[in-house]
Amino acid sequence: MDIPRFHLAFPVRDLAEARAFYGGLLGCPEGRSSEDWVDFDFRGHQIVAHLSPAEAGHRATNAVDGEDVPVRHFGVILTLPEWEDLAAKLKAAGTRFVIEPTVRFRGQPGEQATMFFLDPSGNALEFKAFADDAMVFAK
C-alpha cells in the first residue's frame, strides 16, 4: 500500500547549519531552495527549513513513560535495523540526545525503540522503530 507523503515546514536559525545537519548528518537530499528556505527529502517526505531564528527551538515537554518528551517534535518511523544504524551514527558524531536511544513501553502494546535529539536550531526530532509494525497504533 502506498502511504501519502507529508509536508512539514519548520523554523531554523541558520540555513547553512540546517544543510549540514539534515543534508550531511541525516543524509536528506536537498531539493529546491531560496535565500529564506530549503527543501529536504526526509525519507520520502518533504520538510522545509524556513529561516526564522526567533521561532526555532522547543520550549515545552510532557511526561511519556517517565521521560520529558519535547511537545513540538517531528521524526520518522524506521525499521529496527535502520534505527540501530542511525543511533550508532549519531553517537559516533557526538550527538547530544534529549532522550538517549532506548526502548519505551517495554512489554506493553506500542513497545518501541526511540531517541530524541535537537537540530542545530533547537528543533526536536524523534526517530523510532517497532519490532512489530502492528504496534504502531496499538492501544
The pTM of this model reads: 0.91
Nine-digit cell at 18? Answer: 540546517
pLDDT in tens, 23-45: 999 999 999 999 999 999 999 99
User: CA torsion 87→93→98→103, rounded to 10°?
Assistant: 10
Q: Are strands 30-33 and 37-42 parallel, antiparallel or unpaired?
A: antiparallel
Class of domain 7-54: alpha beta
Q: Where do the structural domains in the chain lie, given as residue ranges?
A: 7-54, 61-135
Kindly tell me if the per-residue pLDDT of 64 is higher than 50.
yes
Give 65-109 pLDDT, tens digit per residue. 889 999 999 999 999 999 999 999 999 999 999 999 999 999 999
Q: Residue 22: is its pLDDT beyond 50?
A: yes
CATH code at 61-135: 3.10.180.10
Residue-level pLDDT at 128: 97
